[in-house]
Structure 1
Amino acid sequence: MTMILLARHGNHAEVGRVLSGRSEIALDARGRAEAAALARWIGARPLAAVHASPRRRTRETAAALGRPVITAPALDEIEFGDFTGRSFAALESDTDWHRWNAERETARCPGGETMGEAAARALDYLWTLPDTGSPVLCVTHCDVIRGIVAQLLGLPFARMFQIGCDPGSVSTVVLAPGDTRIVAINERPQV
């Protein structure tokens, strides 16, 4: 049985305004405070390992713990393709954007991947993590976490927006053959 702490990276200047995708945007002051809060929340708790997506914002969040970080491409942000770097206001008039959000099970981002592909690669990676008796911290991205949780709950991706996932939050899952559980969703360490 492997306990996995899925942490969303801290805040950055584009959160809620721009679809940052696989950009290399850094944490802002609030995001650095959220990363520090995560480090305090983890404290001296034994961790088997710290894994992070290759994006700068996740690596900065993980680095706040002061422990070695394993870069895990499988935890990377969704490849949003042509949507990357566009404001959410601009995407509102894009029919491909609306189709992708309405058909997340099967629709592909133009030049990118499907939600199913992104969630499957991340969840497949989590299943490879060994059970060492201590939790594993994986710092990744909002939709990746929502996709993992939706898959574990058997929810269609169209319902994943009902799963909270704030910057700097932690969702905890336990993976074991025949005994997969969601322990907590969207826990917010105090900043």
Structure 2
Amino acid sequence: MATVILVRHGRTTANATGLLAGRADGVSLDQVGRDQAALTGDRLAVVPLVGVVSSPLERCRETAQFILDRQTGTPKAPVDPDINECDYGQWQGRTLSELAKEDMWPMVQSQPSAVVFPGGESMATMQARAVAAIRRHDAAFESEYGPGAVWVAVSHGDVIKSILADALGMHLDLFQRITVGPASASIVHYGAGRPSVHATNTDAGDLSWVSKGLQAGDAPVGGGAGHKAP
């Protein structure tokens, strides 16, 4: 299959003030977030991308544009609501410090598979739609460009954590163990037998090795020789 690089949007004005923005309009990258997105775009400039799929929210589309601006080719750039932010319902627009006092907060931390946000969606629904979308795009890009194709999905922290949990074979109740920082890049290759996770939450370092194509197969006992040096 193809290889997907999961990129979280850069830091926003809401992130900087501890606000749960959710799907609110008008939440854009702050200057730190723009610098983060530019750095991610620079890191990905050495990887010929066949597509950059974005959540419809402004902060993701801004981050995606930084990536697209640094590509020498013209990757497809669709917007997909299935990788949109979780619908936090009545939690949207409130501060994290306030939400931490809610009765449901401990469940969000330890049993997210049982969480349904009041007036919003369940975290299990969020994971199901996001994973299905990533696998659908991945199969489509491979069908059109071949198994060496590399593409990017620009989405949100909880969404990417849920996708990584699925790829790692983790129950959703364990996904809070995964960290996904602003503008970080995580790399997943969906093989015929199972996904393989090649990186999580990276915000620096060379990514040229990704352009050589990742092959799925039996895992090397002992860990193997790793990627070739750039």
TM-score (normalised: structure 2): 0.78
| Matching of residues 1-191 of structure 1 within 5 Å | 1-15=1-15, 17-24=18-25, 25-65=27-67, 66=69, 69-129=77-137, 130=140, 131=142, 132=145, 133-189=148-204
RMSD of the alignment, in Å?
1.6
Mean Cα deviation higher: 29-38 or 62-71: 62-71
Identity of aligned residues (%): 30
Q: Secondary structure at the match of 2:62?
A: helix
Question: In 2, distance between residues paired with 1:87 and 1:177?
Answer: 42
TM-score (normalised: structure 1): 0.93
Q: Secondary structure at the match of 1:181?
A: strand
Shift of 1:158: 2.6
**Cα deviation code 1:127-162 (max 9, x no counterpart):** 112212221100000000100111122222232122
Q: Secondary structure at the match of 1:40?
A: helix
Structure 1: 4+ residue segments shifted above 6 A: none
Q: Secondary structure at the match of 2:114?
A: coil
Q: Secondary structure at the match of 1:137?
A: strand
Question: In 2, distance between residues paired with 1:113 and 1:141?
Answer: 15
Q: Which runs of 5+ in 1 are unaligned?
A: none
One-letter amino acid matched to 1:124: A
Question: In 1, distance between residues paired with 2:46 and 2:107?
Answer: 45
**Cα deviation code 1:92-120 (max 9, x no counterpart):** 22113333444311221101111111111
One-letter amino acid matched to 1:57: R
Q: Which runs of 5+ in 2 are unaligned?
A: 206-230
